[in-house]
Amino acid sequence: MTHAAGYSGTPLAQKLGLKDGQRVLFIDLPDAATNLLTVRDFGEVSQRAASDLDGATPGYDVIHLFTTARAVLEDLAQRLMDLMARNGMLWVSWPKKAAKVATDITEDVIRDVLLPLGLVDVKVCAVDQTWSGLKMMIRKELR
């Protein structure tokens, strides 16, 4: 999965803005995407369940949440903000409609939940054949 499904020949790690030395947290990373753990020489990389963020410490350059449920995003939203570095990025991935995976998440749901917290969406990309991702960052005036 170094290349996303779809139209772009751009490597997925590049599309996601993953770089050597970053501190990265993957939450509920699907088995099909575990190669993301090693696509760069991260300074620190963690993989956790959404229900197990208690030991996570703030300052992540990249947080990537995979979810199928709005309730999970709503429950985690403030915690994700607290864990993200001020100039960091949050990717929220949800199943594409074509994947036929039960979900109540869409781009609009992600915006509805996260924009009021001071985040802004800056990019959308195909993660793979199942998952789309929306990149969120803290608004410049709030950093």
Quote the percentage of the chain above a pLDDT of 70.
Answer: 94
> Long-range contacts: 17-21, Cβ < 8 Å, 24+?
17/62, 17/89, 17/135, 18/42, 18/62
Domain segments of the chain as ranges: 12-142
**pLDDT tens sequence across 98-142:** 999 999 999 999 999 999 999 999 999 999 999 999 999 999 998
> What pLDDT does 2 receive?
46
Which residue spans within the chain are E strands per DSSP? 23-27, 44-48, 60-66, 84-95, 119-126, 131-138
> What pLDDT does 7 receive?
57
For domain 12-142, give the CATH superfamily: Vaccinia Virus protein VP39 (3.40.50.150)
Q: Contact at 8 Å (CB) between 104 and 119?
A: no
**pLDDT tens sequence across 9-48:** 889 999 999 999 999 999 999 999 999 999 999 999 999 9
How would residue 60 be classed by pLDDT, with cut points 50, 70 and 90?
very high
Model-level pTM?
0.93
> Long-range contacts: 122-126, Cβ < 8 Å, 24+?
125/4, 125/8, 125/12, 125/15, 125/16, 126/4, 126/5, 126/6, 126/8, 126/96
